């Protein structure tokens, strides 16, 4: 059965597909992003306020694009400072600095390897353990 939810942007009902935003609002967000990206390319070094005024797109949405890592503040003078959520180091966009992102990634990879190793061990025990079905010797099932 379909998972129906209300859009976090417009409040409309939609079938959930992994994001809390309906397809219409996703399309609008993409249009906004394209307009911001185009303006920043043409006006490198513009502030978030200038971009918002020129494009008509809310400053919060522009800052959201920066936090998501979709925009990099090299071409945009951000009025907000972004810090790595893990170590506090200043970053241009996203949530984590490169060092912390790599460390988190390697930790995740190690955890996945540990999990798959445990699963292999469990399968091995199940294969050779008493959980398996056996035929008792000396008995026949063909007693018609």
**pLDDT value of residue 90:** 82
pLDDT one-digit tens code per residue, 41-91: 998 888 888 999 999 999 889 988 888 888 876 656 555 667 888 998 888
pLDDT one-digit tens code per residue, 101-141: 999 999 999 988 888 877 666 666 555 555 566 566 655 55
Q: Is the alpha carbon torsion for 109, 110, 113, 119 positive or negative?
A: negative
Mean pLDDT of 91-108: 89
| Three-state DSSP class for residue 5 | strand
The tokens for 89 are 């180091």
Cα(98)–Cα(116) distance, rounded to whole angstroms?
A: 27
Quote the radius of gyration of the chain (alpha carbons, Å).
27
Task: Tell me phi and psi for residue 91, to 5 degrees.
Answer: -130, 160
Beta carbons within 8 Å of 1's beta carbon, 6+ residues apart: none
Judged against a pLDDT cut of 80, whether residue 13 lies above it is answered with: yes
């Amino acid at each position: 059965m379909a998972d129906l939810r209300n859009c976090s942007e417009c409040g409309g009902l939609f079938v959930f597909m992994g994001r809390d935003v309906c397809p219409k609002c996703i399309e609008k967000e993409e249009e906004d992003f394209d307009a911001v990206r185009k303006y920043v390319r043409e006006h490198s070094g513009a502030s978030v306020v200038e971009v918002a005024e020129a494009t008509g797109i809310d400053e919060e949405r522009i800052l959201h694009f920066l936090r998501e890592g979709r925009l990099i503040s090299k071409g945009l003078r951000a009025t907000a400072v972004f810090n790595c959520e893990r170590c506090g180091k200043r970053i241009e966009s996203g949530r984590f600095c490169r060092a912390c992102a790599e460390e988190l990634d390697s930790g995740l990879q190690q955890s996945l390897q540990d999990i798959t190793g445990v699963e292999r061990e469990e399968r091995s025990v199940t294969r050779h353990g008493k959980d398996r079905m056996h035929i008792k010797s000396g008995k026949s099932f063909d007693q018609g």
